[in-house]
Amino acid sequence: MSHLGQGPEAVLNRFLTQMAEWENSFYASQMELIEGGQPTAVCDAEYKHRLASILSACSLEDTKSWARLDGMGCTRPSMYDPDRDLLEVVGPVGKSWVATVKQAGGLRAVFRFELVETSGGWRIKKKETFRDDKWHKSTL
pLDDT of residue 3: 58
Q: Considering the domain boundaries, does residue 1 fall inside one?
A: no
pLDDT of residue 106: 76
Tell me the average pLDDT across 131-139.
96
Q: Considering the domain boundaries, does residue 98 fall inside one?
A: yes
Contact 68, 51 (CB under 8 A): yes
Contact 115, 96 (CB under 8 A): yes
Is residue 73 over pLDDT 90?
no
Is residue 77 over pLDDT 80?
yes
Contact 17, 6 (CB under 8 A): no
Q: Considering the domain boundaries, does residue 14 fall inside one?
A: yes
Tell me the average pLDDT across 51-60.
97
Q: Who has greater pLDDT, 125 or 73? A: 125
Q: What is the pLDDT of residues 113-124, one digit of tens each?
A: 999 999 999 999
Q: Considering the domain boundaries, does residue 3 fall inside one?
A: no
Is residue 107 over pLDDT 90?
no
Domain that holds residue 111: 8-138
**Does an H or E element contain 86, and which?**
strand 86-93
Is residue 71 over pLDDT 90?
no
Number of structural domains the chain divides into:
1
pLDDT of residue 42: 97
Q: What is the pLDDT of residues 1-10, one digit of tens each?
A: 555 568 999 9
Tell me the average pLDDT across 92-116.
94
Is residue 98 over pLDDT 60?
yes
pLDDT of residue 4: 59
What lies within 8 Å, CB to CB, of 66 at 6+ separation is: 55, 59, 139, 140
